[in-house]
Amino acid sequence: MRIAVGSDHGGYALKVLLAGQLEASGHEVLDLGTDSEESVDYPDYGAAVGLAVAEGRAELGLCACGTGIGISIAANKIPGVRAALVHDATTARLAREHNHANVVCFGGRTTGTEVAGDALRAFLAATPLGGRHQHRVDEISALEADLTRKGNP
C-alpha cells in the first residue's frame, strides 16, 4: 500500500520511526516532510498529507506533530479526509472500522513509540465496517458539501 507521511518538528522522530516500520513491512512511503527537527508549521504538513490522500496519490496517510492535535485539525480541512488522532491500538482500530479514517495521526510528544507502532499496525489491519457506520460517514461527507446543515441533530 502507498502511504503518505508528514510531520512537523514535534512529530518528526516518531514519523521517521513509523515510516521505517511501514517500509519494513512492505509498504511504499511517500514522505512529504518535514526533514528535520527544525521548527516548522504543522498545517503545511497536515495539508500535504491530506491532499495526497484526497487526490489518490496515496491510499492512506500518517501524520504526527507534538500532540497530533494541530496536524489532524489541518488534515481534516481537506475534503475527503477523515483524519483521526489515535492514542493506542483500540482507538486506531475503531477509527478505521467505525469512522473509516483514511489518515492516522499521532502525538510524538504524547504517545510512546511502542504504543504508536502497535496503533499503526492495528490501523492498517482494520477494515472500514460500513453498515450502520457508512451512513454516519456519509453524513460527514454531506457536511463537507454543505448539504445538510441543520440547527439541531
Cβ–Cβ under 8 Å, residues 75 and 47: yes
Tell me the number of residues near ligand RB5 by CB under 6 A.
8
Active site residue 98: yes
Minimum distance of ligand RB5 from residue 15's CB (angstroms): 11
Q: Quick one: which segment of 16-24, 30-38, 60-68, 142-150 binds ligand RB5 (CB under 6 A)?
A: 60-68
Query: Residue 8 or residue 119: which is nearer to ligand RB5 going by CB?
Result: 8
Rounded CA-CA distance 77/97 in Å is: 21
- Quick one: 33 or 128, whose CB is closer to ligand RB5? 33
Is 65 considered catalytic here?
yes
C-alpha grid cell, residue 131: 453498515
Closest Cα partner for 101 from 76, 121, 118, 77? Answer: 76
Site track for ligand RB5 across 61-90, x = CB under 6 A: ----xxx-xx--------------------
Residue 5 Rama label (left phi>0; alpha psi -120 to 50; beta)? beta
Spatial neighbors of 133 by CB under 8 A, at least 6 apart, are 97, 98, 99, 100
Kind plus residue range of the DSSP H or E element containing 106: strand 103-107
Does residue number 92 form part of the binding site for ligand RB5 (CB under 6 A)? no
Q: Is 8 in the site for ligand RB5 (CB under 6 A)?
A: yes
> Contact positions toward ligand RB5, by CB under 6 A?
8, 10, 42, 65-67, 69-70
Active-site residues: which are they? 65, 98
